[in-house]
Structure 1
């Protein structure tokens, strides 16, 4: 069984990811931490609490983390994609959770959960990487308790926030570089190159909504997101980026990965937040061997969609 912490900025695709973890018997969800991102920290934290309440998970501790990037201001959030509250304006339709936030911050909660865990823990960061950078910088002793990081972020072939940068990495490139380039924790990166391939269509969503009240509530949150992707994809459907990453965290090997060094552009030009994967052979890099991480680029797409549909149909 995978012991899992999710670091998140809900967000509609984050909502699917949290639901997936709650609905999967293979995973023990031991904590959820929140970060600024798709909307502000107050909204992302409230959304995380209510999504857990939808699945009856009063037991999972929730702690709020960073409300801004490490260095530069966060100039834009994704209200036009996820709605003013992050859930198409429908966060209030979800049940209130009786258990509020833990009496500590996100990094402190992660440190405690890692220290107390009898076995290594997988962390799935599916928002900006600010909390994770702070954790690894301030508490290097916990790294041995991390099984791996499974990160949704980046795009080797381009972005969605800018032509070069994906939203999560663009939101705090300095934090992303610390985590992806400078640290040594085993890491799987699930970029847009992978998640866009796993888009689902209207029929898939309708089938999910018909499977039960929780799934219907989840699909009911997608109105703003679905409208955005109707324009982005040119058809009825959407991309549940974060759920694809959490699926890999739950079932290692569901996505097929390639090991490579990754760099993050932290400059102030048009490439800020760009994730650069070096796919050249080791022999031709002509430099000191940099750290490699596993980057998910291919998968059996039908298997991924079926896994998501099966787990979320509750």
Structure 2
């Protein structure tokens, strides 16, 4: 069937594109979707995930709601000013009704059951705050061996979007992000903000998507508030597909070029909170750690064929 994949998400316009990318890909076995607080409250992110799957004709994919707040400190603000009050530019009601309820067992229980039932390791793509994944790894360490890798959209090299130094997903729950990216021994790929911004698509790309068929038309219709926000960020008419870039790597390993670096997350309560600290120094110049402790490293996405990546996403989203 191809890549076995679980998406953990907080839809969000770019999350909607990412879910559709996986749901419409014939070489992906989308085992489940779990939801988390983030761009908007949990009730909205869960409803949005169900509706995007309904749009894609995928009622077979189970959905379960997870954490509605961070592990330790409250989330200070959401991203409704970017994604709209409902997370989808105020247009979530234009998507099909799901006609079903989320799995009552909850996100972590669904993750455990899907991983344990899988006959081969599973890729997890967390594209929102990492709270659900931190809870999974803390409470169920035995499932680590069933995880092929965790492809995270989050962080930024040299700057952020929610603060001067922090990217939104990591900033929303730095303690959870540190647990997953720094403390756990699970293969991780970090897809940071500075790369996903370079992968932004313009109005011509969105026009091709809208002309591709009813699913493309519906996805494009979710973008007005998001487009207005990113016009200020990019300086031209376009949107950043942050989460779809990470899911593209989850589907097609190597579509992004990665390099191995030590990473740390700032969990202090000062102005640096939520910053992703990537040690870009040459390997021989890095700190050796204390005693026998060697700083752990993860794969960080640093580059891609921009036109190839955009074409890959458009081609998958344009399928009937």
Same fold (TM over 0.5): yes
Q: CA deviation at 1:204?
A: 0.5
Match of residue 37 from structure 1: 38
Deviation above 4 Å: which 4+ runs of structure 1?
A: none
Please report the TM-score for the alignment, with normalisation by the length of structure 2: 0.97
Structure 2 residues without counterparts, runs of 5 or longer: none
Match of 1:298 among 283, 287, 303: 303
> How far apart are the structure 1 equivalents of 2:3 and 2:303?
23
Match of 1:308 among 290, 303, 313: 313
Match of residue 277 from structure 1: 278
Q: CA deviation at 1:284?
A: 2.0
Match of residue 222 from structure 2: 221
> How far apart are the structure 1 equivalents of 2:114 and 2:142?
13
> How far apart are the structure 2 equivalents of 1:126 and 1:51?
15
> How far apart are the structure 2 equivalents of 1:25 and 1:162?
38
1:258 aligns with 2:259: yes
Q: What is the total number of aligned residue pairs between the two structures?
A: 314
RMSD over equivalenced CA pairs, Å = 0.7
After superposition, residues 1-314 of structure 1 pair within 5 angstroms as 1-288=2-289, 289-314=294-319
Q: Deviations over 1:264-307 (max 9, x none)?
A: 00011111000011122232223232111000010111110010
> How far apart are the structure 2 equivalents of 1:87 and 1:301?
25
Please report the TM-score for the alignment, with normalisation by the length of structure 1: 0.99
Q: CA deviation at 1:151?
A: 0.3
Q: CA deviation at 1:193?
A: 1.6
> How far apart are the structure 2 equivalents of 1:282 and 1:56?
47
> How far apart are the structure 1 equivalents of 2:218 and 2:160?
30
